[in-house]
Amino acid sequence: MKNWSFVFSLLLAIPTLAQVKIAGSVTDTKGEALPGVSVFLKDTYSGASTNEKGEYRFTATEKGSQMLVVSMVGYKEVQQPVQLDQETVIVSVTLEEAINRLEGVTITAGSFEASDGKKSVMLKPLDIVTTASAVGDLAGAINTLPGTQKNGESGRLFVRGGASNEARLFIDGLYVQNPFQLSAPNLPTRTRFSPFIFKGTNFSTGGYSAEYGQALSSTLVLNTIDYPARTQTDLSLLSVGGSLSHTQHSERTSVTADASYFNLAPYYGLISQNVRWTKPPVSADGSLHLRQKVGKQGLLKVYSLISTAQSALYQPDPANIDRERSVALNNRYVHLNSSYRDALSANWWLKAGLAYSFLNDQTQLAPAQIGRKERSLHGKLTLVNQVSQNISLNMGAELIASGYRQHYRDSAAASPKTALFSENLAGAFIEADVYVTPKLVARIGSRTEYSTLLQRGNWSPRINLAYKTGLYSQVSLAYGSFYQSPENDLLIRSSRLDFERANHFILNFQRVRQKQVLRVETYYKQYEHLVKFDKAGSRRYDNNGYGYAQGVDLFWRDTKTWRGTDYWVSYSFIDTKRNYRDLSALQTPSFASAHNLSIVFKRFIAPLKSQVGFTNSVTSGRPYSDPNVSEGEMRKTPVYHDLSVNWSYLHRSNIILYASVSNVTGRKNTFGYLYNPTPDETGIYRRREIGQGATRFVFVGLLVTFSTDKTANQLNNL
C-alpha cells in the first residue's frame, strides 16, 4: 500500500513538478502599474495579461531556459531570458514608452493642418467648403483662421503683417505661380483651384519647414487626393455658371476630367452692383487629373488646369476721381503639376515633382495698356529617410527656372516699353525630426538658395521644438529665417536687389481634448532687407527697408458642447510697422488691421436634412494716409463687419441644394480711400471710398452626382 501511495503521489507530483508558476508586475518608467500588458513565454501557449495593479500570474509546463516576452501597444516590447527550474519564478519588468507619432508630440508652432488622415487637426477639408463666408474659395476659408488680416477688397492672404505676395501656395510640394485669378484693382479675387481636388491643406503662419522657401510670411501647402474611391459623374448648376466632372476609376488608374464655365452677366442683371460692368466676368476652365499606381507602392499624379477669363468695367480714375476710366482684363493661365512618389526600401522614400505654369495677362487701365507674360518651371527631388525609430530625415534639391516679360503702353498709340528678366533659382534643404523623448521632438533644418538673377545666395536655419506638457497639451517654440526674391514688378526695374528677409520667433500652446481645441500663439517677426525706393520714382532701389510684426493669435474650436454643432472662434491682435517701398517712415501698412475676429458656426439639423451655418467677421480699421493732414499722421477706416450665412439641403442622397448670402445685414464696408492727386479750388484733396463691389453676394447651387454607388454624393464637395 505504501508503495501504491508512492505511485499515486508521483503521478500527482509530476504535473505539479512540471508546472512552473511565473508571476510578477509590470510598471512604466515612472513606476506606475500597467494593466493589460501581455506577458508570455515566446513560442508557447503559456501567458497572461496584467490586472489593474499591473500584476500577472500564470503557470507553464515549459522548463529550462525560456524567453519571457512582455508586450503592450504603445510600449517597447521587452524580451527577457528566464530560467524555469524553480517552482515559482518572479519576474518584474519596466516598460519604456514607444514613440507614437499619432498620439505623441508633434510640431505645431505656426501651422494649421487640415487633413482627413489625422485626428488632431484644427480644420478639416470639409470646412473649407462649408464655411459660410468662403463660398467654396480656399483663401476665403483660410481667412477665418487666426494670423490672417482680412482685406475684403483683395481676397488674397495677408498673414501676420505680411503683404499678400509673402504668402505662397504649394500643390503637392511644388510652387504655384499666380494662384489667384486676375481681378481689377480693389475688387476681390478667388483662388484658381477648386478645393474639391485636395485631401489636405497645411496653412502655416510662420516657422515652417526648411522644405519651403521663397515665402516671407506664410505657406499654404495643398495635397491633392491620392486616389478617388469610385467612378462617378458630378454636375453642378450654379447661379453664376456650372461645371461637369467625371472620374473614371479602375484598380490602378484613375482619370478625372472637369469643365467649368462661369458667367456673371445674368446674376449682375438681377442684382444691382456698385460697380459699372461693361463685361461681367466670364471664365472657362478645363482640368485633367490623372493618377496611376506604379509597382507596389508608387503613385504618379498629374494635374493640369487651363483657364481663360475676361472682364471689363468702369472705375474711378486715380488721376482724377471725378472721371471714370475703363478697365479691361483678359487672362490666360496654364498650370501643370506632376508628382511621383515611391518607396525605395523599407526606410527610404522618394518624391519627385515637376510643375509648369504659364500666365498671359492683358490689362487695360485706360489709356494705359499692360501686358504680362510669365513662365515658370519647377523641378524638385526629395528623399525621406527613417534613420531609426527616433530620427527621420527629409532632404531635397530644387530648381525654378522662370521668365517674366512686361509690355507697357501709355496709350494705344504709344510705342510699347518692354521690360523682362529671366531667373534660375536653385535651392537645397535638409531637415531632421528627432524624437529626443516621447515627449520632446526637435525639427532642425537648414535651407540654402542661389539666384542667378540677384547673383546672390542665402542660407536659412529653421528650428522647431515641441514638448508635451500633459496628456492633451503641448508647448512649441519655433525660430527660422526666411528669404524671398523681390516681386516681379521690382525685379524688372532694378538689377541690384537682394533677397528680402524675415526672422520668425514663435511660442505656441495647444490643447486638444475631446473635440475641443485651444491654441494660443504669440510671435515676433523681424523684417530686414526690404526693398525701398523713393516716391519720385528715381532709379534708386535698395534693400534698406525694415520692419517688424508682433502679436497674439487665439483659436478655439468646439464640436463637443452641442450635439451636431461645430463652431470656432479666432482672434488675432497684431502690431506691425514697416519702412519699405515708397514709405518715408516706419508705418503700419494699409493692409494690416490690429484686431481680427471671426466666428464660424455650423449646425446639422437632421429633421430638415440641412446644414446651416454663419460666419461673423469683424476687423478693426485699417490705416490710410490723408493728404489733407500732415504727412506721417495715419487715419483709420471704419470697422469692417460681415455676417454671411449658408444653407445646404440634402434633397436625395445624390442631390444637394446649396445657398449662401454674404453681408446679410447690408452694411457698407469701406476698405480705404482714393484721393485726388491734386487739391481742389478750396485746397482740399477730395476722395472716393473704396468699397464693396456689391452690398451682398447671393449664391445658389444645385449639385448632382451620378454613380453606380447610389450613396455617392457631393457632400464631400460642400
Partner 1 sequence: MKLIKQVVVLLTLTLFTTFTAFGEDGVYEKAMAKAIETLYTTKQVDELIPVANQFNLIARKETSQWLPLYYEALSYLWLAGRSKNAAKQSGYLNQAQAVLDKAQTLKPNDSELVTLQGYLYMITVASDPATYGPTLAGKAIGTLQKAHQLNPENPRAMLLLGQMQIGTAQYMGGSTTEPCELVAKSRSFFAKEQGQTDLMPRWGQSMVGKVIEGCGR
Beta strand residue intervals within 485-562, DSSP E = 500-513, 516-533, 541-558
| Contact between 651 and partner 1 per CB under 8 A | yes
DSSP bridge pairs for 134: none
Q: How many Å is the Cα radius of gyration of the chain?
A: 31
Residues 20, 47, 167, 484: which binds partner 1 (CB under 8 A)? 47
Q: Which is nearer to partner 1, 49 or 304 (CB)?
A: 49
β-pairing verdict for 500-513 and 687-691: unpaired
Q: Which is nearer to partner 1, 115 or 292 (CB)?
A: 115
Q: Which is nearer to partner 1, 10 or 412 (CB)?
A: 10
| Contact between 608 and partner 1 per CB under 8 A | no
Stretch near partner 1 under the rule CB under 8 A, chosen from 34-42, 148-156, 404-412, 683-691: 34-42
| Burial call 305-316: b when 16+ CB within 10 Å, e when fewer | bebebbbbbbbb
Nearest to 41 by CA among 89, 98, 95: 89
> Distance (Å, rounded) from C-alpha 213 to C-alpha 378?
13
Q: Which is nearer to partner 1, 231 or 304 (CB)?
A: 231
Q: Per CB under 8 A, which of residues 81..100 are in contact with partner 1?
A: 100
β-pairing verdict for 623-625 and 634-636: antiparallel
> Distance (Å, rounded) from C-alpha 103 to C-alpha 472?
9
Other C-beta atoms lying within 10 Å of the C-beta of residue 296:
7
Q: How far is the CB of 35 from partner 1 (least distance, A)?
A: 7
What 3-state DSSP class applies to 176?
Answer: coil
| Contact between 76 and partner 1 per CB under 8 A | no
| Contact between 63 and partner 1 per CB under 8 A | no
Q: How far is the CB of 301 from partner 1 (least distance, A)?
A: 17
Q: Which is nearer to partner 1, 438 or 672 (CB)?
A: 438
Task: Count CA atoms within 13 Å of residue 176 on its CB side.
Answer: 28
> What does the DSSP 8-state code read for residue 144?
T
DSSP bridge pairs for 571: 554, 597
Residues 1, 73, 346, 585: which binds partner 1 (CB under 8 A)? 73
Residues 23, 33, 48, 365: which binds partner 1 (CB under 8 A)? 48
Q: Per CB under 8 A, which of residues 378..437 are in contact with partner 1?
A: none
Residues 16, 29, 42, 388: which binds partner 1 (CB under 8 A)? 42
Residues 5, 30, 32, 119: which binds partner 1 (CB under 8 A)? 119
Q: Which is nearer to partner 1, 28 or 689 (CB)?
A: 28
Q: Which is nearer to partner 1, 130 or 451 (CB)?
A: 130
Q: Which is nearer to partner 1, 103 or 582 (CB)?
A: 103
Q: Which is nearer to partner 1, 163 or 512 (CB)?
A: 512
Q: Per CB under 8 A, which of residues 123..182 are in contact with partner 1?
A: 124-126
Other C-beta atoms lying within 10 Å of the C-beta of residue 341:
20
Stretch near partner 1 under the rule CB under 8 A, chosen from 366-374, 417-425, 669-677, 710-718: 710-718
β-pairing verdict for 20-28 and 93-95: parallel
- In one-letter notation, the amino acid at residue 274 is N
Q: How far is the CB of 116 from partner 1 (least distance, A)?
A: 5
Question: Cell for 131?
Answer: 464655411
Q: Per CB under 8 A, which of residues 567..606 are in contact with partner 1?
A: 606
| Contact between 112 and partner 1 per CB under 8 A | no
> Distance (Å, rounded) from C-alpha 374 to C-alpha 490?
15
Question: Cell for 593?
Answer: 488691421
Q: How far is the CB of 76 from partner 1 (least distance, A)?
A: 15
- Render 589-632 in DSSP notation, one character per residue: -TT--SEEEEEEEEEEEGGGTEEEEEEEEEEPPPEEE-TTS-TT
Q: Per CB under 8 A, which of residues 216..235 are in contact with partner 1?
A: 229-230
Q: Per CB under 8 A, which of residues 476..535 are in contact with partner 1?
A: 514-515
Q: Which is nearer to partner 1, 90 or 102 (CB)?
A: 102
Q: Which is nearer to partner 1, 304 or 559 (CB)?
A: 559
Nearest to 235 by CA among 702, 707, 573: 702
| Contact between 11 and partner 1 per CB under 8 A | yes
| Contact between 712 and partner 1 per CB under 8 A | yes
Contact 147, 133 (CB under 8 A): no
Residues 16, 53, 67, 102: which binds partner 1 (CB under 8 A)? 102
Stretch near partner 1 under the rule CB under 8 A, chosen from 143-151, 445-453, 636-644, 707-715: 707-715
Contact 93, 78 (CB under 8 A): yes
Other C-beta atoms lying within 10 Å of the C-beta of residue 11:
9
Stretch near partner 1 under the rule CB under 8 A, chosen from 157-165, 396-404, 647-655, 679-687: 647-655
Q: How far is the CB of 204 from partner 1 (least distance, A)?
A: 21
Q: How far is the CB of 121 from partner 1 (least distance, A)?
A: 8
Q: Which is nearer to partner 1, 43 or 575 (CB)?
A: 43
Q: Per CB under 8 A, which of residues 550..569 are in contact with partner 1?
A: 559, 566
Q: Which is nearer to partner 1, 337 or 611 (CB)?
A: 611
Beta strand residue intervals within 344-409, DSSP E = 348-365, 368-386, 391-409
| Contact between 652 and partner 1 per CB under 8 A | yes
Stretch near partner 1 under the rule CB under 8 A, chosen from 37-45, 440-448, 546-554, 585-593: 37-45
> Distance (Å, rounded) from C-alpha 210 to C-alpha 605?
44
| Contact between 252 and partner 1 per CB under 8 A | no
Query: Measured between alpha carbons, how far is residue 405 from residues 262, 361, 402 in Å?
Result: 29, 11, 10
Other C-beta atoms lying within 10 Å of the C-beta of residue 158:
25
| Contact between 103 and partner 1 per CB under 8 A | yes
> Distance (Å, rounded) from C-alpha 197 to C-alpha 178?
18
Chain center to CA of 463: 20
Q: Per CB under 8 A, which of residues 177..216 are in contact with partner 1?
A: 199
Nearest to 481 by CA among 498, 499, 504, 464: 504
Place of cell 494716409: 625
> Distance (Å, rounded) from C-alpha 320 to C-alpha 468?
60
List of residues 6+ apart from 284 with CB closer than 8 A: 259, 260, 261, 262, 307, 308, 309
Stretch near partner 1 under the rule CB under 8 A, chosen from 146-154, 163-171, 435-443, 645-653: 645-653
- Residues forming contacts to partner 1 in the complex (CB under 8 A) are 3, 7, 10-11, 14, 18, 35-38, 40, 42-45, 47-49, 52, 71, 73-74, 100, 102-103, 116, 119, 121, 124-126, 199, 229-230, 471, 514-515, 559, 566, 606, 609, 650-653, 709-713, 715-716
